[in-house]
Structure 1
Amino acid sequence: MQHANVSAPSSIDTRPGLSGEDLLAAYLTRLAATGRGNVVYERAARNFFRTWPNPQAWAAQPLTDRLAADNQTRPVITFLMLHHGFRPGYDYLLERKLSSVWREIDGSPLETEIDRFLTASENLGFSMRVRLATGSQVPIRLLIQTGRGIADLAQSDLDEFAAACHERTQRTGINHPHYLAAISNTQTVLFHLGIVNSLPRCGGPIPFQERLAQVTAPLREEIIGYLERKKATCQTKTVSVLATRLKHFGVFLATIDPDLSSIAGLDRRRHIEPWLSSLLDTVSDKDGQPISIGDRNRRVVAVTTFLTDITEWGWDVAPARKVIFRDDIPKLPQVLP
């Protein structure tokens, strides 16, 4: 049963009026108070605030530039995130382990917020290891990037964080099972605090809408319609595998042509040939390695079958002309007798 949320909405004091000089002074005071002041850190901080008197402008840089911050500058960024409402972007936050967060959070506006989360986690029976791991992986990052308190978080914030994890998987080929587990734990805690309205989904097949969330809405609905139809004649596992392969195709289309409004608009030169070429460099979601020729073969066969089926069924969403041909299917190596 969901508990009532009796806490008033909270927000984190970001103190947006502070200048670069004020922030530098606050940072140097923090270093001195924690016994970590030294010439190297001070020089790095002065260089940072000289270049970025409005630090939030730093977050508008490409990710590669943000990640280039050296070891002496990163503590400045951590200080700003925890104490002064600095929002570096989920892409940056997912690249940094924030290993010093439990030390640096003392005395910050986020301390009471995360303490509330940890207390609720303990009351629900989460072990200390899981509480601390979850707290540093998801709630801390949500508080930093949203600039809001725990009570003002929403399901959409969890969804946005999950989407950022999926985007990083696409970009790097690295899966995030620990983050996804922490998102589930976080949603459980927020539900029992009365902050979100539902518990995380547990067990059973993942709904097609969720599995194909990265596919643009019009294409997603057409693909889901096809998968629902295939349920009538195929085993559940077969349809699930087909959904995965069509998802990869749909995500590619969403990337190269986000304005494509229907499968009917597929063009061989604009969509199919670039997709076929991209398979050579596609990496597996499981291990980050290039997919095998067998996987390439199966992905092309799945899309070919999809397009053939909807054409034969007379669906309006079928392309007007054939866009994939037999020779497009990667040839599997012949096994010698």
Structure 2
Amino acid sequence: MARNRLNRRTVLKNGAGIAGLSVLGGSATASEANTESGRISGPDYGGSAVGFEITDVDGGGTLIENVSVYETPMLADLHTVVWDEGWELVKNTRDDAFRHYVSTDDGAPGGTAIVTFEYVNPYEAIVKYWPVLTQRAIASAARPALLVEQELELGSYSPIRYGGSPGLRHTIYTIANPTIGTEATSGVVTEKRGYDAFVASTDAYSVAIVQRCVEPDVRTGFDGHRVGDVGVAQGTDRSAWVDIYEEADGWIDRNFANEGDIDFGAGLYVGGDQDAGAITPVPTWRTGIGFATSNGVAIDNAIATVEDGYETERNRY
């Protein structure tokens, strides 16, 4: 098993609002932790309406969860984790928010979450910065798919003399918890049309996840990935949540497949090096989640929505 010098990310298995979701990963259930979690539903393609929630978590931050289609639960939750390589710190949008804000789109089945993290230099505690992560999620009007488009702004520094100079380098991790109905799920990492893709499937349905970095450059691969067994803390089958977020050592142990009660994590290196006064593109990337009754079509749906992007998807409504 190869070890890749990349980052770690977070995953929680929450369940509420959809029958059949279970709680995994050692966190409070959604019903215990959520204060607001309005349901967002897309167009109905003969029973294939995509529904999801952007949850405002009591005492925490935000979470995309309870994703369903075909009137069946598909993903318990979708987490974003930010890893700072220079200061060796890891944050996730649910547990580690310094400030957060959630809103819904009145004109389309979508919503926005804005999360601010506080990073404190572990070697020089007076030095801090506040990166801001913006997520925009929308159910596609063109296909059974969910798009999450995100931006990471490095934010402000204190003391100000450190502004732009710490050489901040980030990897973003997405961790997903497939829960397709109540059946055991198989998961595999594959490739199609130049994209790395993760596919979780049962005999009835498939869920595919791809990512596309659009700034500062276009990339369609995973910078490390893991298909884990939820609840396993050690060994070759340990969960992606444990490997990425709990161990938080800047490594991800790559594997390609697993089955049962699985989770999945993938990395995306977005850099972030800045010279004082330099203007650099804000790192921007898209996560596409496609649904279908076959693996190939699920991947095609995920790829199509990340290639369209949020504005194109939004303008369809």
Larger RCO (CA under 8 A, 6+ residues apart): 2
Greater strand fraction, Structure 1 or Structure 2 = 2
With normalisation by structure 1, the TM-score equals: 0.23
With normalisation by structure 2, the TM-score equals: 0.24
Bigger Rg, which one: 1
